[in-house]
Amino acid sequence: MKTLKFTFALLLCAILFSCSSNDDDNIAEDLSGQKGQLILKFDNGIGDQDFIFGTNYSKSNNESYKVDNLKYIISNIRIKDSQGNLVMYPEQDNAFIIDEAEANNAGEILLTLNNIDAADYTEITFGIGIDQERFALGANGQGNFLELAESKGMLWSWAAGYKFIRIDGTFSNDSVTDEPLNIHMGSVGSSLDNYREVTLSFTNTARIRQHTSPEVHIKSDISKVFDGITTINFADGYDQVHVDAVETPIVANNISGMFIVHHVHND
Amino acid sequence: MMNVLQNFRKITVLLLISITQAQFLSAHEKNRACNNHYKHTFFCDLCGCSTSSGSFGFGTLSNANFVGVRYLYQNFESKNGIFENSPISKEVFRTYQLWAQIPVIKTFYLSANVPYHDLSRTFNGITENISGLGDSSLIGWYKLIFYKKQNEETLNFDVKKEASGHSIQFGLGLKLPTGEFEERLADNINPGFQVGTGSTDGILSFGYNYGGNTLGVNTLFSYYLKGENKNEYQFGNQFSYTTNLYTALSTKKMNIMPFLGVSGDIYSSIKQYGETLNDTDGSIINASLGSEFAVEDFIFGASYTLPVNQNLFGHDVKSKQRISVYINYAL
């Protein structure tokens, strides 16, 4: 009986010992000079449904819409590490078009940021559209992005500038069926400033290291374009949004509320 | 005066019984397997040898000793994406297991479990496969058997101490990282798609058994203290419970022991690099139906388990069913 108790006590010790966390092995790693990748996964959805071209989605005011073209511009991406340092991705490479047509078979559009200082990152900030500063660089100052935007139909003309978001499709409501829907929102040259920025905290730390590329899964709720901060109705003229000084800022504000970081994968 | 005398007699009888009890403890032990009196003898009777680790239990409905093999077939469905309508992958987990309960001394025994896993998942028509030795576990058990109070009126000194049918057991054990943990798989929606966790876990268990003449109950509660593996990935601590209600039907050649069971698991969140990962906690409650067939020293068992209620990984993983088949040889 004594031996038995002793054996049990020993086993219990072994368990407690093996399960105690080794706090003392958290010696700060030396990350100096290490560079790594960060992958942003943009995943478009409508509420809790994955976005699919041609699907009829209902919105407020008894209206519905189908989309066959969905693109938006992301720029000025910067990330903050656990020490509070901000890392801005190099400016000349820091504008991207998120095009649903380029999504992988899981419906995700991957954006890879290379050569980032190894650190533990906790937050991301990015702009939707192109800011006035970049636009002021002129057509020649846009680098390859101008050509890309043009080929993707995300530019009106150099003078009118970029379309920050482009949604093409059809809509239906109580009075009409499958009428054209075109949301083309931008800053319209420099007459309006519809560039918006969002800052999103990571659900868990993105640990960028030489050989590990964390993935930040960003969910973009496209329904927020219509039912966002402000609810907009097709019946009120929001079926065709182009350069209007009243309509475009409302759409811009709605879009700034459509992103959340769903989770971060460290691999 | 009579009363005083009677009381004295009672005390003396009780004392005598207590003394004799100690002597009969070991003698009685072997017959105790279950409190059922079958026509032929087997040690691992219906109380024994059902289901396995985790919410499966560690192998025995009661405390019968055995060595055996078990085959487990499990189906899962996992959502590959963050949306309600994200595509589903289907997983099939097949496990071949060597398991045993080995007596050490009359109140102490060991249960051991060495699994081999063959896992496959199918997504978009492509099937991935991983197989290999899984995580083995070893648990030491201390068993406490309760005996019936002696009938004071009969004063039958010949009677051996009679088991009440109730017993409890305490288990302490370790789950060892004998299976390989592949980090690339940890990014899957179903983090259970691994042959091993790569961690050493502590297991604490408490069991209660009752074996009556027609009915028996077997209940086991286990708590797993999960360790962190070398990839700084730590599965969440787990509380498992299982209870089975069984009966026995005897024929000349065998005993048939059907059982009904409820089992479940409650998981804490997974941690990676010391951070809690969202939607990695959850719980599941299962209902089981099965039977054991005892023929001489062999026990054949089969059970079918269906989830009744589950919320695993934020509803991203669904357990579909579990089939268990085993053959044990009573020690």
ipTM confidence? 0.82
Residue A2: inside a domain: no
Query: Apex CA B78: angle with CA B77 and CA B84, to 5°?
Result: 110
Tell me what pLDDT residue A80 has: 97
Task: Specify the number of domains making up chain A.
Answer: 1
Helix (H, G, I), strand (E, B), or coil: what is residue B31?
helix
pLDDT tens profile B101-143:
999 998 999 999 898 888 888 888 888 888 888 888 899 999 9
Alpha helices (runs of H) in chain A, residue ranges in sequence order:
2-19, 132-136, 145-151, 247-256
Rounded CA-CA distance A118/A214 in Å is 11
Chain B residue with minimum CA distance to A122: B275
Contacts of B274 in chain A (CB under 8 A): 26
Mean confidence (pLDDT) of chain A: 90
What percent of chain B is predicted at pLDDT more than 90?
24
Nearest CB to A19; choose among B108, B225, B275: B225
Residue A224: inside a domain: yes
Nearest CB to B187; choose among A18, A203, A265: A265
Tell me what pLDDT residue B49 has: 21
Residue A8: inside a domain: no
Nearest Cα to B105, choosing from B204, B183, B224, B25? Answer: B25
Nearest CB to A49; choose among B85, B173, B183: B85
Q: Work out the minimum CA distance from B154 to partner chain A, whole angstroms.
A: 33
Query: What averages of pLDDT result for each successive group of 10 residues across chain A (267 residues)?
Result: 58 52 56 92 96 96 97 98 95 96 91 95 97 92 94 93 96 95 91 94 94 93 97 96 94 97 88
Helix (H, G, I), strand (E, B), or coil: what is residue A51?
coil
pLDDT tens profile B174-218:
988 888 777 666 555 556 677 787 888 899 999 998 888 888 898
Contacts of A15 in chain B (CB under 8 A): 172, 174, 202-204, 225
pLDDT tens profile B22-72:
333 333 333 333 222 222 222 211 212 222 344 565 555 555 789 999 998
Residue A17: inside a domain: no
In contact, A227 and A249? CB cutoff 8 Å = no
| DSSP annotation string for B96-107 | EEEEEEEEEETT
pLDDT tens profile A222-256:
999 999 999 999 999 999 999 899 999 999 999 99
Range with lowest mean pLDDT among A105-114, A183-192, B91-100, B153-162: B153-162
Rounded CA-CA distance A123/A201 in Å is 4
Residue A137: inside a domain: yes
DSSP state of A29: P
Chain B residue with minimum CA distance to A7: B140
Q: Work out the minimum CA distance from B315 to partner chain A, whole angstroms.
A: 13
Backbone φ and ψ of B278, nearest 5°? -60, 150
Contacts of B81 in chain A (CB under 8 A): 43, 50, 106-107
Q: List C-alpha distances in Å: A103 to A51, A71, B84, B124, B140.
A: 11, 11, 18, 16, 53
Side chain identity at A227, as an amino acid letter? Answer: D
- For residue B285, the surrounding DSSP H or E stretch is strand B282-295
Tell me if A19 and B201 make a contact (CB, 8 A cut-off).
yes
Q: Is B82's pLDDT higher than 70?
A: yes
Mean confidence (pLDDT) of chain B: 77
Residue A261: inside a domain: yes
Contacts of B126 in chain A (CB under 8 A): none
Nearest Cα to A72, choosing from A155, A194, A154, A190? Answer: A154
Q: Work out the minimum CA distance from A262 to partner chain B, whole angstroms.
A: 8
- Contacting A with CB below 8 Å, chain B residues are 80-87, 105, 107-108, 124, 140, 142, 170, 172-174, 183-184, 186-187, 200-204, 225-228, 272-279
Rounded CA-CA distance B244/B261 in Å is 4
Rounded CA-CA distance A129/A95 in Å is 8
Residue A204: inside a domain: yes
Tell me what pLDDT residue B43 has: 22
User: CA end-to-end span of chain A, whole Å?
Assistant: 49
Structural domains present in chain B: 2-330 (2.40.128.130)
Tell me if A45 and B228 make a contact (CB, 8 A cut-off).
no
Tell me if B82 and A266 make a contact (CB, 8 A cut-off).
no
Tell me if A19 and B140 make a contact (CB, 8 A cut-off).
no
Range with lowest mean pLDDT among A203-212, B145-154, B314-323: B145-154
Rounded CA-CA distance A135/B232 in Å is 45
Strands, E, within A9-63: which ranges?
Answer: 35-46, 49-50, 57-58
Residue A22: inside a domain: no
Tell me if A19 and B276 make a contact (CB, 8 A cut-off).
no
Rounded CA-CA distance B150/B18 in Å is 10
Write out the two tokens for A228. 């966002």
Mutate to test the interface with A, among B25, B84, B85 (most CBs of A within 10 A): B85
In contact, A35 and A210? CB cutoff 8 Å = yes
Nearest CB to A49; choose among B83, B184, B273: B83
Write out the two tokens for A67. 């989309």
Rounded CA-CA distance B76/B94 in Å is 11
Q: Work out the minimum CA distance from A224 to partner chain B, whole angstroms.
A: 16
Side chain identity at A98, as an amino acid letter? Answer: I
Strands, E, within chain A: which ranges?
Answer: 35-46, 49-50, 57-58, 64-81, 86-88, 95-99, 108-117, 119-128, 155-157, 161-172, 179-186, 196-208, 215-221, 240-241, 259-265
Residues 6 or more apart whose Cβ sits within 8 Å of residue B90 = B75, B76, B77, B121, B122, B123
More confident residue, A27 or B95: B95
Residue span of the structural domain in which A236 resides: 34-265
- Contacting B with CB below 8 Å, chain A residues are 4, 7-8, 11-12, 14-16, 18-19, 21, 26, 43, 45, 48-50, 105-107, 203-205, 207, 215, 217, 219, 262-263, 265-267
C-alpha A55: how far from chain center: 22
Binning pLDDT at 50, 70 and 90, where does residue B314 land? confident
